[in-house]
Amino acid sequence: MSAAGPGGRIQPSRPGDPLRVGPYRVVGRLGAGGMGTVYAAITDGGERVAVKVIHPVQAGDPEFRARFRREVRLSARVRGPFLLPLLAADPDADAPWLATPYAPGPTLASHGPLTDGLLYAFAAGTAQAIAAIHSAGVVHRDVKPQNVLLTPAGPRMLDFGIAHAADGTSVTRTGVLTGTPGWISPEHYRSGVTAAEGDVFAWGALVAYAATGRLPFGTGAPEAVAYRVMSGPPDLESIPEALKELLERALAKEPAERPDAAEAVDSCVRLLAAERTQVLDDNRAVEAGNNPTLVGDLVTAQWSVPAMEDPSWPNFVSPQQSSSRRRAVVAVLVTAVVVGAGAGGALAFRHKDSQTSAAAGSTASTDAKDATGTDASGAATDATASAGAGVTGQTATDPHVIPVPAAPLAGVTAPAFTRADDETQPVPGEWNASRDAADTAEQETATAIRDQVTAMLATKDMSFMTPTVTFNRQAQTVVVTGGPISTLTDDYKEVFRRAGQMASCAALAHRLKDAPTSWPYGRFSVYWKDYDVQEEVTILGFGKATDGCYTEEAGQRQGTDEGIVTAEIPSTDKDEIRIANGTVKAITSAWNTRVAEGHGLEPFDRDDAITLGFDPVERMMYVWAWDGAGALAGRAQQSHFQDVVAKTACPRLLSEYNANKHWNYTHWAIAAYEGNSGQPQLFTSGDCLPKAHS
């Protein structure tokens, strides 16, 4: 299991996956193996990292924990241009972990043969990596195609600290043959000896594989491969002669007959230099071979592996871009797009497991029926379905049936707010000129905005971002400011922006509706402050309450790209968690039943394909499916899925709506991640309430 991951698309997080590991924010999975799970994560500055977290069973073994602690110490020794260095680790944590930079690109195992200068660059780069490992007193012991990434910047060797120190102290259990058949040295087969010469042997096999796409000692049963390694010649057919001679030496049966890694670097540098337009002489080639920086320059000059399109990682936009267009999504937490979306893990609600993310600090109800009247399978009972058929027990003063005015100044001839048609964004100085609330109306408005922002953020465990609300009378603008926090990532700021804009818009729309000729504020802006003495704060967004606060088409609330990003952040609200768990199970069951009935429908290609989350900003429930096989490719299929979602989810949402005055979710939207796309495609939205109530 590589801590760097395969460089492919991020897989969604699963229930129980952490939201953070050490200082890193988890946005999905890169892979899993016998030792643990590798998570895709980001730093507070937005850098991508891969974090390997050890399985609890392994972590509970004192012997394993001691070996892992030694692995960390060994890894920390190693630095080089073609390695992924250890960034941080905590071998004493409840779940031990280590982190390396994330490197995009396929492994050699999935790429195919290399030729000409690219082949020599690969040979030189990987030899230099092994030389750096050996110079730090470490032996890799698992050199193979799966542990080499072909990144746009050159090859990168993975998992260099896992196995063995050059002083002979094993990190893995003694008496157990380790390694992968075909990449194990003859002496290791014979006596279990693991030393630097074994890495050189595996390097020779690695470069031969890179040149031909064939395993140099063939395939088959491990015993047959071991016999050929110990007694047969390697398959080096069609490899360029100069490189072939070097590989024959590296693949010698006797360790003493092999070059060391530094000598292999020198030989590869000469081969690589010969590919240059201006050929280096022997002295300059030797000089380059002794200088890792020069080796790096030579490799880079011949390297031509294109950057992989990697849409599953979060995409960042600058705060300036974010402020100029509401639909600029900073998706750090998404699970296949984003942040994140499923931040921390990308989402806590999945069909397979009724437990939520452990990091969210909440668990789903394990009662036979939840509060919405679902049984253990997630199917709605008759009582729930009938109770949810309409809205009952609501009064005019119930806060979640009071609509936000969409056009609060309609028909007003002389409003106090005179900037309704002014599209000008905030100018420098507006923030500095804003002041605290001066009268009762302003104080009440500031409290309403602050409370609403905090309530929205609390459902995503972000309530620590308490806003400050000030007023600029001349600009007729209410100003919402977050911070000061200098280390907050853009994904958090994006959610803060949305919450600040929505809370401001709703509060101002009500004020404008109630007192149109005396209330002067109809404009709002949202800023972020990194530190106390900051003179010019960052503008995140702005708008007006006269334009409507929700995204609508023909009076129907619509899902948005920003909304699904926020929805993919795991919830920490116990009611949302409870409803989501039962609803996901019920939708999955209903869809499987619909597929079994015919209708020309195909099942999803994974059991946990259906997921849902809540966006507290626009009060929308999002349901989306990971649709790798195209089950929702056509309009008819999407129509069936929409019907299943509406008939299954609405009784639950309305039942909670009737019972819980704080429950705001009756609107829904549906999306799909089609094929290998990292961007969800929103294809329909709807509302469970009759039009008069929504």
Can you give the residue ranges of every domain in the chain? 1-102+340-346, 105-307, 350-394+568-687, 405-549
pLDDT tens per residue across span 570-627: 888 889 999 998 999 999 999 999 999 988 888 888 888 899 999 999 999 999 988 8
Q: Are 340 and 565 in contact (CB under 8 A)?
A: yes
Higher pLDDT, 311 or 354: 311
Q: Are 255 and 197 in contact (CB under 8 A)?
A: yes
Please compute Rg for the chain using Cα positions: 30
Higher pLDDT, 478 or 95: 478
CA 417 to each of CA 440, 594, 596, 643, 648: distance values in angstroms, whole numbers, following the listed order:
18, 53, 58, 44, 45
Q: For residue 642, what pLDDT band results from cuts at 50, 70 and 90?
A: very high
What is the predicted pLDDT for the residue at 529? 87
Higher pLDDT, 7 or 167: 7
Q: How many CB atoms lie within 10 A of CB 600?
A: 9
Those residues whose C-beta lies under 8 Å from the C-beta of residue 292, and which sit 6 or more positions away, are: 80, 81, 128, 132
Please state whether beta strands 20-21 and 24-32 pair in parallel, antiparallel, or not at all (unpaired).
Answer: antiparallel
- Domain pair 1-102+340-346 / 105-307, same fold: no
Nearest residue to 490 via CA among 44, 39, 5, 32: 44
What is the predicted pLDDT for the residue at 366? 30
* Residue 526 φ/ψ, nearest 5 degrees: -120, 130
What is the predicted pLDDT for the residue at 369? 35
Q: For residue 24, what pLDDT band results from cuts at 50, 70 and 90?
A: very high
Alpha helices of 80-115 — where are they, by DSSP H?
Answer: none
CA distance 101 to 324: 32
Higher pLDDT, 295 or 374: 295
Q: What is the pTM of this model?
A: 0.49
H or E element that contains 514: helix 490-514
Mean model confidence pLDDT for the chain: 77
What is the predicted pLDDT for the residue at 322? 35
Please state whether beta strands 97-101 and 154-157 pair in parallel, antiparallel, or not at all (unpaired).
Answer: unpaired
* Topology (CATH) of 105-307: Transferase(Phosphotransferase); domain 1 (1.10.510)
Residue entry with tokens 């690695």:
206
Mean per-residue pLDDT for 16-26? 89
Residue 261 gets which letter from DSSP? H
CATH number listed for the domain at residues 1-102+340-346:
3.30.200.20
Catalytic residues: 142
Q: Are 15 and 353 in contact (CB under 8 A)?
A: yes
Q: Are 389 and 383 in contact (CB under 8 A)?
A: no
Q: For residue 117, what pLDDT band results from cuts at 50, 70 and 90?
A: confident
